[in-house]
């Protein structure tokens, strides 16, 4: 475990205080999210996929053989992704997903993860599952639960 973290004000080399505790909290949340996203990208990047592509593969693995409509994938993404079709195009070009028009509703496109996609996720499962404990090692189990509850309340107020 590393030493005590710097304050956000120190990290940002900011000489004047924040306008409010709420502003500092929002900026700290954004800074922390960015650090976690960068570390995660470093982990999966060598496998040729982005965090958004990883998210799509996880969603499709969970769908199993039933497949998932494109719009359902977009709704289930961790980060809102306006270009879901382009994201799927890139995954299909890498032979990690396949798509087909729904025979019952030609407007709908169904997506499946391929064997190559499943193999890639299998390679990443352990390293990814180890990130949570590593990223949150400075928190106790109760503090992790409190963090989850706090973030759920914030999201609930925003939706």
- Which pLDDT belongs to residue 3? 56
Contact 127, 43 (CB under 8 A): yes
Domain presence at residue 3 = no
Domain presence at residue 141 = no
- Which pLDDT belongs to residue 2? 54
Q: Specify the CATH number for the domain of residue 27.
A: 1.10.10.10
- The pTM for the full model equals 0.87
From CA 123, how far away is CA 97, in angstroms rounded? 16
- Which pLDDT belongs to residue 153? 95
Which residues does the chain have with pLDDT short of 50?
1
Tell the residue number behind the tokens 């890639």, with chain if given.
120
Nearest of 37, 111, 104, 39 to residue 71 by alpha carbon: 111
- Which pLDDT belongs to residue 4? 65
Domain presence at residue 148 = no
Domain presence at residue 7 = no
Residue-averaged pLDDT of the chain: 91
- Which pLDDT belongs to residue 36? 94
Q: Is 113 helix (H, G, I), strand (E, B) or coil?
A: strand
Structure tokens at 37: 């996203």
From CA 121, how far away is CA 64, in angstroms rounded? 13
Domain presence at residue 152 = no
Indicate the number of domains in the chain. 1
Structure tokens at 114: 């391929």
Contact 110, 73 (CB under 8 A): no
Domain presence at residue 89 = yes
- Which pLDDT belongs to residue 1? 44
The domain of 116 spans 19-130
């Amino acid at each position: 475990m590393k030493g005590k973290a710097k304050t956000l004000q120190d990290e940002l080399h900011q000489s004047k205080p924040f306008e409010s505790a709420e502003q500092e909290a929002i900026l700290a949340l954004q800074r922390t999210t960015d650090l976690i996203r960068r570390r995660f990208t470093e982990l999966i990047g060598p496998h040729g996929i982005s965090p958004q592509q990883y998210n799509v593969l996880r969603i499709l693995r969970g769908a199993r053989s039933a497949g998932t409509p494109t719009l359902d994938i977009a709704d289930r993404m961790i980060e809102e992704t306006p270009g879901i079709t382009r994201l799927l195009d890139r995954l299909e070009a890498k032979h990690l997903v396949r798509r087909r028009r729904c025979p019952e509703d030609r407007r709908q496109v169904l997506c499946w993860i391929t064997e190559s996609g499943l193999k890639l996720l299998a390679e990443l499962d352990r390293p990814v599952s180890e990130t949570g404990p590593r990223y949150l090692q400075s928190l106790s189990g109760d503090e992790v639960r409190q963090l989850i509850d706090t973030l759920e309340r914030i999201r609930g107020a925003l939706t």
